[in-house]
Chains A and B, each alone.
Chain A
Amino acid sequence: MHTNILLTLGHIIAQSRKLMAKHGAKMKRTLTITLNGAEVTAEVPEHALLLDVLRETFGVNGPKYGCGKAQCGACTVLVDGVPARACVLMASRVSGARVTTLEGLVDPETGALSPVQQGFLDCEGAQCGYCLNGMVMTATALLKRRPDPNTEDIVQALRHNLCRCGTHKEIIASVKRAAELMRKRANA
């Protein structure tokens, strides 16, 4: 039944969205976030993606561009502690939020690696390391919710993070090691 020959609101909105997508946005807006513990502000183009803003405006290199479609996870950041794929996330959606990247996991006082970073270092959870950011950020969120994960928990938590070098085995070991380090620190 295609009887909708008359123009409607829906159609016009759809048209407008196509054109917007084509020509990009021209407006700028102010974005303030707490990035790795420090409040930062910048003028960013409307519809700018968080990944671009982090890398280009705030000079943070941890999150990486891999696919732009939330498929590979290389761009993962924590927004208020929850993993989000910065390549599909408009920066304006995190206005006022706490954004944490790989750089922000280290101890700000001592510069020591976080337990998850240390776990990946101890177990060599990377070959080329391009996907490492996503693995570490996702593992950090996993361990916050489930401090003592078994292999299946880790596999399931990382199932949407792609690694092409085939470092999966070392990554699983790294997350287990991270859990162990967290327990040690908690007991210390």
Chain B
Amino acid sequence: MPDVVSSALAVVIEGPNGPQTYISLDAKGRATGFNGHVDLGTGITTALAQIVAEELDLPLSNVEIVLGDTARTPDQGPTIASETIQVAAIPLRKAAAQARNWLADRGARALNAPLGQVALKNGVVHWKDTQRSYADLLLDQKVTLIYDPDTPTKDPKDYTIVGTKTPRRDLEDKLRGAHLYIHDLHVEGMVHGHVLRPPYAGRDSGDFVGRSLIGYDERAVQDMPGFIAVVREADFLGVVAETAAQAQAIAEALPTRWRMPPNLPDMSKLADTIRHQPATPRVLDVTGDFDTALVQADHVKSRSYVWPYHEHGSIGPSCSIADWNGAQPIIWSGTQNPHVLRGDLAELVGLNAEAVEIRRYQAAGCYGRNCADDVGADALLLSRAVGRPVRVQLTRAQEHLWEPKGAAQVMDVQGGLKKARLDAYAIDTWYPSNRAPNLGLLLTGRVDPAPRPADMGDRTIVPPYDIANKRITVHDMAPIVRASWMRGVSALPNTFAHESFMDEMAFEAGEDPVAFRLKHLKDPRAMDLVRRTAEAAGYVPHNGPRLRREGRMAYGQGFAYATYVHGPFPGTAAAAAAWVVDVAVDLETGETTLSRVFVGQDQGLVINPDGVRQQIHGNVIQTASRVMAEEITFDEIAPTAQSWAAYPIQTFPAVPDIKTMLIERPDEPPLGVGESAAVPSAAAIANAIFDATGVRMREVPFTPEKLRRDLAVQAGGRVMLPAAQTHPARKSRKIGALVAALGGVLTLGAVSVPLHRSIPPTTPPTPATFSVETLARGKEVFALGDCAVCHTAEGGVKNAGGRAVPTPFGTVYTTNLTPDPETGLGRWSFEAFERAMRHGISREGHTLYPAFPYTSFAKIDGADMYALYAYLQTLPAVSAPTPKAQMIAPANLRNGVAAWNWLYHDATPFAPNPAQSEVWNRGKYLVEAAGHCSGCHAPRNGAGAEMPNMTGAVVEGWYAPPLEGLASVQMNWDEASLFAYLRKGHAPNASASGPMAEVIESLQEVPDPDIRAMSVYLASLMAPATESLPETRALPREADLPPSRASRLFESACASCHDPVFADSLTVARIPLTRAPALRAPTSEALMSVLNEGLRAPEGLDLRDMPSFRGEFSDADLTELTQYLRARFAPDLPAW
């Protein structure tokens, strides 16, 4: 125990594995306090330092606090239930007092003073005008005191440090970027792991857990850069590489096969599903005779209240580093439970707990059991396998999908009024949650994945009121999906039920809700809190909803009160809190604004008033978000949200005005404040909405959609908005039908039989014979046609062909354009080349598949064609045989393509229009011939041939917008903007993305005059026809749509870039979505491509990228979001 040895004075407790230090002082008189709890981001370190400094009479700056390291701190259990100040700080305070007594004693002797008469102040012992500093007294000392829990502590009225405003100690380092979070830690020699989780995301019971990985193919990835290992144990699978990016790339490329898990029960009917899961009722309180009282009551009500699943949603996904260290592993962790984690990890790797050391670092804010412990297991398994320290950083998706959720909960309440008093009350709570066994233990099969209930559904399950007849029952049940404690645990939903029902009963009794509560309270401290909060908040008593209206707005006020009770039943009370909340409800949109939240809180002695107020603010804001906006949705197998995209939380605009009142009780012990102010939230808000509208919300979250629905149903109000339009599901492409329809024209087979004469091989002219000008022009034509894109295989040599081109009829491969004699164009004469380019026939006489755009290239003039040929002959020769085409349905290509060519291929050369300028004709030539713009921008007929006009087309999932016709006029193109666009990829009215960005990259080789000519020609195509009305020439403004889930998804997933604060940021979209071609396409297919693929522009261009959103949305969300985007940003076009 190094801290015992190095300290001059230590107060220790004998533990099972030797002494554990609570307090140590060094020879300079500086103190260190050790606490087994951790700082979850609340600044608790500061409060603990205040406690130690107070008892030791030391300046605060001379006190350090060490939290959570298993080798240095006592095991005080997990940091849960707001216990740190209330429970875990007690030995710290007493140990500090014990050390102080020793110092007082020693000081008195040194000063020849009577024992007990010296004064201690700021680290100095005083007697009359003599003094000794702690440092003097501790010089050369080596004293160990055994902790005495009976040590008296300071009288709170003498406090000078506790109870005063004290700044956070860790903040300055955090502001400098100098604080080392677990994410920032670097361990010498560490490498990086990336885990692959099974398809049963977020599920932890059932016989498929730990038994679903069929196999993986390590050979497919072992040559990837940085590869170190693939590690598997049952369903645990991870890769290790030199860098994190490499590890992720390898993990994503690793082929794996998993068994699909069984479906979840129907999570869309949450309450019924939860009630029908196996559960064990535990009756906690039977007072009087509930059944009889209910029968004899004047008014009886049965109500159900439903709480959804929530994400903890730490802003930083969990991270950990582990060093196997020859079976003496060290794990650096952001855990909430260092000592629990140590036991779990020891079990995981078959060691004694003493062999495992957890070093605790701060992580992102933690509000309950997240993935912090799981990732420690990941890192440890990987480190053991490779024998090096391994860091694992979970992705946002892994954290969102796998974190033990804040559990859903159902509360069924029955109650009866007798003589305007609540005479009977029964609550049945279903809480499908447990303590979330470490995922590493489950995936490796170390623990049995049997459903395991826990007993945490009983927090604040007994209402605080004096009710003559009660029956309180919790139904203990295993999780349906991985779930565990989250801020407020079950007390928050239980209180939602109690305090909503009290309001409902006050209404039945015709009494004011606060007066009604007071009538049922006996505890004077509770009554004081309720009264003082109501008074200070300016609460307006009311019997029944007041329905205050002003135009479309309705205003209301709600009250709720609760004591957060934690720990095993009957539990321990933490601070009690009361809410008065004012709401404004927009009756047209259903939006509820919390205009003010007033919180009164009784926490006994206040250690750090600012810290307490911050905890209240945090509880109010976080819980308001949970209550108003948050809910996890599920598909058949797993939760759907992989990021904030599909799990929006409230942000700054929703933050209410918050007022706090701390009730001063310096003589009472300090009570935990980490969760209490959250507990009354949902009921207070529901009660306020009722006061405003007469509508009673019994299911969290209170979304605008629910309120719109309930305003119509419950209050008999008019339906404010039409139901969302339904649109037929996106039609999948019926390729099979097309194949059948085309059968008569195009029956394809192996491209093997020459149909045309072969042109004999020749030796082409040597490069030296081509003029510099010819070669330069050839390079431009090559760029204009963007030939390299198709003629370079993935990972292959540039222009050497071999790119697989899947078609509905099979796979063909592009050819080698380099002058290699055997496999490329090295033996092709210009005649052969020109025939291929103009007629789609290879040198040997094979018909080329019309994916090769010879229909456009036929229009290239002789000089350009020769220049292109010349340029290709100067490329470095690369031997690369073209793989053989693999066609389905072997048949007669001769009839097919020959007929197709006869029908659709016009090989006549380009003919200038004498009525137009030279530059216009030049532009038309470039666009139609080598540029082959029509290849994408012209729609095709049933046989796949281009239609004559470039009126826009969906091309393999991307939308090439119209280059002529009315729809193109709306985009306000002119020559200057076209030039800018084709030159740089960006103009004020458009920005290139997707395949077009690659085309722009290729066009970099094309000289300005040619770009200018294309701009002149295209501008003429897109000029407004004189007969078109001015209003049809402009794009519409975006539509103002009512709030919906889709609008929230947009705000959370898209708005930071598409409705940006700083429009000139490098990471925001350059053009508004009203101008986005994908949203103006005939179908949502192109939008889906953008969402799935993201956008990655060539690095050389000043364009923007967009991350992929593949898998981020459920099918239902995706449908709603795409329809919303269309309706909002292309309101002039038909809905999708």
Contact = CB atoms under 8 A, between A and B. Distances in A.
B906 interface: no
Contact of B644 (A6, A65, A162): A162
A128 B998 contact: no
Interface string B51-67: 00000000000000000
Nearest to B40: A128
Interface string A52-77: 10011000111011111111111000
Nearest to B400: A67
A98 interface: no
Contacts of B313: 164
Contacts of A52: 244-245
B1099 A8 contact: no
A188 interface: no
Interface centre among A4, A83, A164 (most CB of B within 10 A): A164
A184 interface: no
- Interface bracket on A: 35 or more
A164 to B, nearest CB: 5
Nearest to A97: B1066
A92 B862 CA distance: 40
The 5 lowest CB-CB distance pairs between A and B, nearest first, are A128-B41, A166-B621, A62-B177, A11-B956, A128-B365
A4 B956 contact: yes
Given A26-B225, A69-B645, A165-B41, A89 B1105 contact: yes
A166 B622 contact: yes
Interface in B622-666: 622, 625, 643-645, 649, 651-653, 655, 658
B952 to A, nearest CB: 10
B618 interface: yes
A157 B252 CA distance: 36
B735 A5 contact: yes
Contacts of A129: 41, 170-171, 174, 179
A52 B393 CA distance: 12
Contacts of B252: 22
Contacts of B184: 55, 61
B789 A65 contact: no
A68 B629 CA distance: 22
Contacts of B225: 24, 26
A160 interface: yes
A127 B618 contact: yes
Contacts of B484: none
B172 A121 contact: yes
A34 interface: no
Contact of A3 (B314, B649, B940, B1061): B940
Interface residues of B, number: 126
B139 to A, nearest CB: 34
Given A62-B177, A72-B644, A117-B175, A89 B614 contact: no
B742 A5 contact: yes
Contacts of A159: 651-653, 1061
Nearest to A11: B956
B1055 interface: yes
B620 A156 contact: no
17 contacts: A2-B738, A3-B941, A6-B851, A12-B805, A14-B957, A14-B958, A23-B249, A23-B253, A46-B1099, A55-B184, A66-B315, A70-B1056, A74-B315, A89-B1066, A113-B172, A138-B1061, A168-B617
A113 B619 CA distance: 29
A31 to B, nearest CB: 11
Interface in A120-138: 120-121, 124, 126-133, 136, 138
Interface string A136-164: 10100100000000000011111111111
B790 A9 contact: yes
Nearest to B996: A10
B654 to A, nearest CB: 9
Nearest to A63: B177
Contacts of B944: 3-6
Given A93-B1099, A117-B175, A127-B365, A7 B851 contact: yes
Contacts of B831: none
A8 B1093 contact: no
B246 to A, nearest CB: 8
B367 interface: yes
B1065 A82 contact: yes
A119 B243 CA distance: 37
A170 B655 CA distance: 11
A181 interface: no
Nearest to B677: A166
Given A46-B1099, A94-B1066, A165-B622, A130 B850 contact: no
B324 to A, nearest CB: 23
Contacts of A133: 177
Contacts of B41: 127-130, 165
A158 B252 CA distance: 34
Contacts of B395: 68
B1099 A92 contact: yes
B794 A19 contact: yes
Contacts of B1109: 69
Interface in B770-818: 786, 789-790, 794-795, 803-808, 812
A52 to B, nearest CB: 6
B1024 interface: no
Contact of A128 (B245, B246, B362, B935): B362
Given A16-B789, A159-B651, A8 B315 contact: no
A103 B174 CA distance: 10
Given A11-B956, A19-B794, A83 B618 contact: no
B712 to A, nearest CB: 31
Nearest to A116: B175
Contacts of A67: 396, 643-644
A14 B805 contact: no
B589 interface: no
Given A6-B807, A71-B1056, A85-B1056, A136 B652 contact: no
B935 A71 contact: no
A166 B617 contact: yes
A130 B939 contact: no
Contacts of A15: 794, 803-804, 806
Interface string A15-31: 11111111110100100
Contact of B1066 (A60, A82, A160): A82
